[in-house]
Amino acid sequence: MKHLPVAAAPSIATDIAMTKLKVVLLVLNGGILICCVLLFLIPDYKTLSWYRFKILNPSALYPLTEEVGYNMERGVGISGNCTLHLPPWRRGRDTPRVMTYTEWLKTMALMKLLDMVLTGSNVHYMLFGGSLYGSYMCHDMLPWDDDIDIMVDHNQRPKMEHLLKELSPEYTMLNHTSKLFLKFFLTNTPKTWEYEWSWPFIDISFYKENETHVWEHGQSHKLYRTYPKEIVFPLHRRPLGSIWLPCPRDSRAFLMHSIRSENKTFQCGQQGWVHKAETRVEEDHIVDCSGLEHVYPTIYRSSAVGGVRETLRQGSHVFYSCILPEPPAAITVGGFSFDLAKSAISRPLSNGTTPSASSESTPRKATLNITLLVDEWTRAPVEKPNTSSLDWIHVETKAED
């Protein structure tokens, strides 16, 4: 029986060690290869540009510490001069909220996700309807409102639909009403009706535009849905609950234009439609708006360098104060009100005139430095469209789909 030389023993140990090392390197290489394949196959990483914009890091999207000037037609800025301190949740006795706190949280989470996706992918949209009324009146959803309304640039609709489809199956995007509108909601939310969608949801409409006006897609025959472009762009962000969302540059003029009644009076209370049940209100419950100032937090306005100071308070208790780039002449008096303060009415404009309580004079351009909040407002009367002929709209809406 032959015995191996003593010198061969280290050689065998070395071979075993080398074999183990090769196995470890092979496993590591295999793991790296699998990771690369997975990253390549994950559709979200490939298609949703908000990953590349580092949207999950707010400072990457909204550089509040840098001096960023916005005077672009579609410029959307966020004011960094205040911190939102949400007031305690409460329900009034005569005008109770239609949503619970949990339902409100779900709605806000939906809107925050939607804003992240659209903003990160440069899809233009704005708050409007009851949601804009809420932002303007109380920096939140109105107590009697139960959904969020936005309008998206119609030219970017295919891009937006592609992005939202990437969020399935957890979230659903649904066309309805002859594909004029979309609803965006959580897929697993229990349905309480025969409709295809569930609540809470975000109502998505679309807007079109020409050189002078912006109108809601499919609603061009309604003058109160057709807005002079000067009161819409450039967009700026306003608070809605815990988030900042793009809004028209002159919110008051935009909302006044949206009111159907001839006297342009804003009415407080539950009226119209209840989305929570998808049914019409059996009987409108209109209340005195001034009586709500001690029930729910509301916005009070005053003049400020750079725009208008909006202070959220309930009675004598102040929650926070922000300076927003709204027209300085649009200072209202009292809460839940569109009435202009006397100081705003008497303030002369650049053209030598003064606005009236019913005036819709608006600036043609605005340059805002977010950090310094220095603005250069130039104002001119809005040219009203010829109501006897809507050819200026119909030329572009004949082929609406």
pLDDT digits (tens, 9 = 90+) for 275-305: 777 777 777 778 888 888 889 999 999 999 8
Give residue 213's pLDDT. Answer: 95
Q: Higher model confidence: residue 387 or residue 343?
A: 343
The stretch 62-75 carries a mean pLDDT of: 32
Give residue 240's pLDDT. Answer: 96
Q: What is the pTM of this model?
A: 0.68
Strand 243-247 relative to strand 279-280, pairing? unpaired
DSSP code at position 383: P
- Is residue 107 within 8 Å of residue 141, measured between CB atoms? yes
State phi, psi for 388 to the nearest 5 degrees. Answer: -80, -15
Interval 176-187: pLDDT, tens: 777 788 999 999
Burial (Cβ within 10 Å: 0-12, 13-18, ≥19) of residue 279: exposed
Give residue 264's pLDDT. Answer: 76
Q: Higher model confidence: residue 400 or residue 149?
A: 149
Of the given ranges (153-162, 312-321, 341-350), which has the lowest mean pLDDT? Answer: 341-350
**Sequence ranges of the domains in the chain:** 48-397
Measure the N-to-C terminal CA separation of the chain; round to a whole number of Å: 93
- Cα distances (angstroms) measured from residue 286 to each of 131, 266, 281, 289: 18, 10, 12, 9
Report how far residue 349's alpha carbon sits from residue 189's, in angstroms, rounded to the nearest whole number.
Answer: 51
Mean pLDDT (the chain, rounded): 74
Give residue 66's pLDDT. Answer: 29
The stretch 360-364 carries a mean pLDDT of: 33
- Is residue 251 within 8 Å of residue 238, measured between CB atoms? yes
pLDDT band of residue 233 (cuts 50, 70, 90) is: very high
Give residue 147's pLDDT. Answer: 92
Angle between helices 101-120 and 157-165 (to 10 degrees): 120
Write the DSSP assignment of 97-122 as a string of letters. Answer: -SS-HHHHHHHHHHHHHHHHHHHHTT
The stretch 77-95 carries a mean pLDDT of: 77
Give residue 342's pLDDT. Answer: 65
Give residue 32's pLDDT. Answer: 65
The stretch 96-124 carries a mean pLDDT of: 95
Share of the chain above pLDDT 90, in %: 40
Reply yes or no on whether the pLDDT at 150 is more than 60: yes
The stretch 195-216 carries a mean pLDDT of: 93
225-235 b/e with 16+ CB inside 10 Å = b?
bbbbbbbbbbb
The stretch 202-213 carries a mean pLDDT of: 95
DSSP code at position 332: B
Reply yes or no on whether the pLDDT at 71 is more than 50: no
Of the given ranges (33-42, 106-115, 124-133, 336-345), which has the lowest mean pLDDT? Answer: 33-42
Residue type, 123: V
pLDDT band of residue 372 (cuts 50, 70, 90) is: very low
Give residue 202's pLDDT. Answer: 96
**How many beta carbons lie within 10 A of that of residue 212, not counting itself?**
12
Q: Higher model confidence: residue 225 or residue 123?
A: 123
Of the given ranges (92-96, 107-111, 123-127, 357-361), which has the lowest mean pLDDT? Answer: 357-361
pLDDT band of residue 260 (cuts 50, 70, 90) is: confident
The stretch 149-161 carries a mean pLDDT of: 97
Report how far residue 244's alpha carbon sits from residue 139's, in angstroms, rounded to the nearest whole number.
Answer: 9
Reply yes or no on whether the pLDDT at 52 is more than 70: no
Give residue 401's pLDDT. Answer: 41
Identify the three-state secondary structure at position 268: strand
Over the Cα atoms of the chain, what is R_g?
A: 27
Residue 339, token pair as written in the block: 């009435």
Contacts of 55 (CB under 8 A, 6+ apart): 61, 116, 119, 120
- Is residue 179 within 8 Å of residue 156, measured between CB atoms? no
Please give the helix or strand (H or E) that residue 41 lies within, else none: helix 8-41
Residue type, 288: D
Report how far residue 37's alpha carbon sits from residue 29's, in angstroms, rounded to the nearest whole number.
Answer: 12
Give residue 340's pLDDT. Answer: 84
- Is residue 385 within 8 Å of residue 226, measured between CB atoms? yes
Report how far residue 254's alpha carbon sits from residue 363's, in angstroms, rounded to the nearest whole number.
Answer: 13
Give residue 24's pLDDT. Answer: 72
Give residue 341's pLDDT. Answer: 75
Strand 226-228 relative to strand 69-70, pairing? unpaired
